Structure 1
């Protein structure tokens, strides 16, 4: 029998340390709209890393599925195991900077990193990031650090991610992402840009409920449109047997279930098998960890603001936001990811689009969603990405994985660009931001971009005063619906 929640109290669970475990079907109930969306939207988006793991890290397709499975389980654990009230996601703006690092040469000129060295770099940055999270969380210095960081440098970091993402898709790897299926990619990107950012479309969806429903499905409409168009548009290649043009996307169906080859994947990726990162790798990747923290802290603030706006509508479901707990849970998830499925930055705090969708239905009342934790757990398919075990679905999605990654990076570039442009307040700050961004995007070592940004900020803008930093004390670390309503 399920435990009942007293109205106005937190959803029951099993407390362990600062965390709360909520077992699906026992502490939380299935929310079917979120469940059905999550199977395809969360599953297909998570599978986008497969393209990176195969093309850049040398895993087989099946091994890449195993790695993505572990990463998805860790993402789902944020709410189910640790009790976080946010819909978790990647630290997406850091992804293009990571791709810059592993795509460049090991010595800056001649040799590429080997597959093992790339995984060691991912372990190094994940452990760096986890240590940073833990130290800034336990000391409470995270708020001070973010307020101390000048706007020019913040804007430069986020704009650098935007330039790196667009450069990767449109210039560096255009032959990999655009050439095989240009029409399908353009259709998917156009569809998702319109659904997510178009000002006229935002007006239309307020007037027409079917458009609002389509927009609520996130990236899924773009995938569907790309699949339909790609299966009809010829690629320019001819099938030698039939003499007919081969379409951009060819779908092969295989029936059955599969167990991903976890042992083979761990043998190629885990530091327990391939060896631990060198000290040089930890030093090389530290700027990426710092950049990741800046992005994650902004996500935590964003997630809390979205909740704070909705909490007055649900006094029956008390929500506790604890930024220190968030730091600790993120640290644990990134350590586990770095040890068993290394690919920074797949363990972040917030998937903003999904968080907005779930919170919007949650605020409609208990008749729509019993608790926020039920909705998030359902969206992440109760912590187990069952999609990855169903062979027909994997085969159906596999031709779309390159498009999924291109779509993720282009949307990241677009969103990061407009966010970054709003951060600097003066002409000089904007100039410093652009200089920092270009150096982050074009130089192989993240240290160069960070060094240029810091020096330009010191000499052209200056750092915040002590008075500004002290404003961090006004931001509480532990927040609940009682405090924020």
Structure 2
């Protein structure tokens, strides 16, 4: 229970801090048990970035774990400051960022490149958020380029999993079954009809991607695609001293040349993140139509400011290969869906989002959970990337309506998935001006439709 009660038709109580609305558990909102349960599994998605930090950035396991803990602590900051969205990674950018980091030697070079991306993304969020130009830029961007970026990110995510030597080849049984169950549960028309009829189906669906991850982990363990965990007891103690050795204050700040190389990937990161903001806003707006008892503040400017803060802190002190995205789409969708069941099911959208993030963060400090999931971290990342890849491709295809725009989008996407952000932006812009510019009226109507 919370000390401050919310009356029907009002906003959840808060303490004002500048433009933000600060809230604490038990004072302003109650903790929600289903979100607590989800968080103790879904935190493994955050841990799954550790193998990437080890292999492509050159961090030690202890340093990478400390980075992940900082990431979760900064997620707490975002929800505490009054945003109704569950924050997370800019997941579709991860495979593109891996391609970008492949141009640098793991160690100081890769760290400097990652720092450059963080600081550029932070600057973009700050400038475009304060000025309001973000919405204008994204909405005036040709549909074919937006589609190409999303489809390319989706292709890169799926190719990374399906290519020879990828995780699908190494652990086919667990990943195929877990991936198919995830897609079936999320997008199947049959499951949607089952959802309306079966209470069990509703319970499973309300836990988001957690059931698919648990299924894949169990199967992977049974068929011995993954080893049994070596569970340790106690509390996780982050090694911040080790993490400090991988900061720009030790390895050096990136040069201007590295910043220039990082600009295309930073731009794509913002475009993808803004797409997530649009999706998250649509989810909350839809929930508002069902829940008339609460006023929800989802100011996009505040979301930009917190995303700037999180990426800026990561760039200086804890470089993170997933970047600090404003919305964890799957987590936000799960919270909002249960929120629509009424006030008895969830007191407030803020109580649901905040509880999930608190649980995600708490999971990182429970050593038995961390060591239990440690052997299975690739599964959590793979399921997330498969879901993200599917969503990016379907959303990207919805942006393009003509044969010409579809052609520009697909060529841009293929270049992006194979050669990276810089080449894709050049190819996409050139193709747009050569093939599409003369069809500006069609393009304008497409942008309005999107």
Both proteins in one fold, TM over 0.5: yes
| Equivalent of 2:233 in 255, 262, 274 | 255
Q: Does 1:90 find its partner at 2:80? A: no
**How do 1:54-453 and structure 2 match up within 5 A?**
54-80=54-80, 82-103=81-102, 112-171=104-163, 174-175=164-165, 177-234=167-224, 248-268=226-246, 270-381=247-358, 385-444=361-420, 446-453=421-428
- CA separation of 1:232/1:357 partners in 2, compared to 1, >3 Å: closer, same or farther? closer
Give the conservation status (yes or no) of the 8 Å contact 2:148–2:396.
yes
After superposition, give the CA deviation of every residue in 1:144-193 in whole Å (9 maximum; x if it has no partner). 1112101111110111101211222222xx43523443322222222212
Between the two proteins, the alignment pairs up a number of residues equal to 447
CA–CA separation in structure 1 for the residues paired with 2:209 and 2:292? 32
Give the conservation status (yes or no) of the 8 Å contact 1:457–1:463.
no
TM-score, structure 1 length as denominator?
Answer: 0.86
For structure 2, which runs of at least 5 residues remain unmatched after alignment? Answer: none
Shift of 1:199: 2.4
Give the conservation status (yes or no) of the 8 Å contact 1:150–1:464.
no
Is 53-62 or 203-212 further displaced after alignment? 53-62
Is 50-59 or 64-73 further displaced after alignment? 50-59
Shift of 1:48: 1.2
Shift of 1:83: 1.0
- CA separation of 1:287/1:112 partners in 2, compared to 1, >3 Å: closer, same or farther? closer
CA–CA separation in structure 2 for the residues paired with 1:35 and 1:396? 18
TM-score, structure 2 length as denominator?
Answer: 0.92
- CA separation of 1:196/1:467 partners in 2, compared to 1, >3 Å: closer, same or farther? closer
CA–CA separation in structure 2 for the residues paired with 1:472 and 1:231? 47
Provide the alpha-carbon RMSD of the alignment.
Answer: 2.5
CA–CA separation in structure 2 for the residues paired with 1:463 and 1:278? 40
Larger radius of gyration: 1
After superposition, give the CA deviation of every residue in 1:354-401 in whole Å (9 maximum; x if it has no partner). 22222233233332222221111111126x712122222112101111
Q: Does 1:462 find its partner at 2:440? A: no
What SS does the corresponding residue of 2:245 show, helix, strand or coil? helix
